[in-house]
Structure 1
Amino acid sequence: MPSTPDDGEDVRVDGRDARWAAHRSSRRAELVRAARRAVHHRGPDLSMDDLAAEIGTSKSIIYRYFTDKSGLQGAVGDAVIDELRAALGEVSERVTRPRDRIAAMVDVYLGIVESSASVYAFVTQPGAAATAGALRGFVAEIEDIVAEALLPVLRHGGARSATDQALAALWAAGVVGHVRSVAERWIAARAGAAAPEPQGAADRGTEDEIAAMDRAALGARITDWLWTGAAGVARRARTTTTRPDDAIGDHT
């Protein structure tokens, strides 16, 4: 029976290096997709034994392509990042108004998280060292996109200045950190709501309220927080709870 690359044979005859490289790339992508499906259905804490069984291969094959679990996490993380980067890039081209662009980017991020909280947790676990560099690079790229969205507001129609760029970069770093933190709290609350409550446990209260928020409502809240700041949110809340005459006179 002829050997295959998965048998471990180093194919270096008749100029087959290119074919072998293509096979490895294809096989690696296939394993990433299979691992992602397994994590999506079984959760982020699967062991390598569990992952191999779910994928339908052996640990030795996985290790051949990814070295260790961190390598597999990194590869799955790269796939998620590529999708998110493409979606955010499309948003930045399609939506031009700064506030609308921020809203759309928030929705894209929440959509990625909501589509598979288990996969998101798998690639952002503290132990996922292999994903750290990719995530840092991705975060920096997203900060650049957000900063670009804010610049038209900061420069008030004039030329860009070094100060504008610096303020936009700082604001963008806060935006990205805020959205990530809120999204992770949201999916953690959802995971807790889905778990059986221990007998005699106190009412979950706040966590249940967070878990009950849908993506659209949460996205709108985040956009308000980011765009108007705490003072703007408080002012809006007052105008919706006071009499119309009171609201008209409220200029704080």
Structure 2
Amino acid sequence: MPSTPAEDDDVRVDGRDARWAAHRSSRRAELVRAARRAVHHRGPDLSMDDLAAEIGTSKSIIYRYFTDKSGLQGAVGAAVIEDLRAALGEVSGRVTRPRDRIAAMVDVYLGIVESSAGVYAFVTQPEATATAGALRGFVAEIEDIVAEALLPVLRHGGAEHATDRALAALWGAGVVGHVRSVAERWIAARGADASAPGAADDGEGQVAAMDRSELAAHITDWLWTGAAGVARRSRATRHRPDDAIGAPA
């Protein structure tokens, strides 16, 4: 049966709406990428005027798509979260041993933070209220991944006990909080004035001097062996002959 003029009009309107929605989504994604590049190169404290100039548009255009700065922060934060989800999902599927999985996830998180400390700061600033909900959801997702990695250890090869998942969830929350705090301290130390008198000799200077793999190894040891394991490793290192210092503890 041939369509009526009214039905043809509906199809045309629906088609225009779909094209406009696709255009708007594409333009929004383009602005997010441009804002992310600008923050990466210029730092997290750019004003909206600065951002618009760096992107090559006007503030009114940015506000048309994001309402305000917190909306833009939220959109950039969502893009960062998607990158992290993808990387952590790949790790969880590829690495099976619990300790190795923790090590890989720590390295992924540090890698994302290290790759653009400015973007990380931009999306986690206190005023980034639009990002808060997405970050909470992301943190919960990472906690779940970590908890799943711990379950085989809690079971000790046997059947799952009723309390195992509760304990794993608590441990996962602790892991994520620990890694985030250490990563942020590390990045802050790296951004401090290294030319200040005594900066290289103080604790922060030593933190700043750590590379990612070294820090990831420390964090993994802290998470896996706890304080007793760290102390044991430290004692072993102090009493080991100099030519054995790089050997496994």
Q: Does the TM-score normalized on the shorter chain lie above 0.5?
A: yes
After superposition, the C-alpha distances for 1:25-61 in whole angstroms (9 at most, x for unaligned) are: 0000000000000000000000000000000000000
Q: Do 2:77 and 2:123's aligned partners in 1 also have CA atoms closer than 8 Å?
A: yes
Identity of aligned residues (%): 86
Question: Any idea what SS the aligned residue of 1:177 has?
Answer: helix
| Structure-2 residue corresponding to 1:248 | none
Task: Give runs of aligned pairs for residues 45-64 of structure 1, distance below 5 A.
Answer: 45-64=45-64
Q: Indicate whether 1:89 and 2:86 are aligned.
A: no
Q: Distance in 1 between matches of 2:118 and 2:240?
A: 46
| Structure-1 residue corresponding to 2:226 | 229
| Stretches of 4+ aligned residues off by more than 6 angstroms | none
| Structure-2 residue corresponding to 1:212 | 209
Label 1:243 to 1:103 Cα distance change in 2 as closer, same or farther (>3 A): closer
| Structure-2 residue corresponding to 1:149 | 149
Question: Any idea what SS the aligned residue of 1:149 has?
Answer: helix
| Structure-2 residue corresponding to 1:23 | 23
Q: How big is the shift at 1:237?
A: 1.1
Q: How big is the shift at 1:234?
A: 0.2
CA RMSD of aligned residues (A): 1.5
Task: Give runs of aligned pairs for residues 1-40 of structure 1, distance below 5 A.
Answer: 13=13, 15-40=15-40
After superposition, the C-alpha distances for 1:155-206 in whole angstroms (9 at most, x for unaligned) are: 1112222210011000010000000000000000000045x53xxx554611
Return the letter of the residue paired with 2:16.
R
Q: How big is the shift at 1:243?
A: 6.0
Return the letter of the residue paired with 2:222.
W
Return the letter of the residue paired with 2:230.
V
Q: Distance in 2 between matches of 1:147 and 1:14?
A: 46
Question: Any idea what SS the aligned residue of 1:169 has?
Answer: helix
Return the letter of the residue paired with 2:155.
R
Task: Give runs of aligned pairs for residues 151-170 of structure 1, distance below 5 A.
Answer: 151-170=151-170
Return the letter of the residue paired with 1:186.
W
Q: Distance in 2 between matches of 1:96 and 1:32?
A: 35
| Structure-2 residue corresponding to 1:238 | 235
| Structure-2 residue corresponding to 1:125 | 125
Q: How big is the shift at 1:241?
A: 1.7
Q: Which runs of 5+ in 2 are unaligned?
A: 1-11, 242-249
Q: Which runs of 5+ in 1 are unaligned?
A: 1-11, 245-252
**TM-score normalised to structure 1 length:** 0.88
Q: Do 1:193 and 1:208's aligned partners in 2 also have CA atoms closer than 8 Å?
A: no
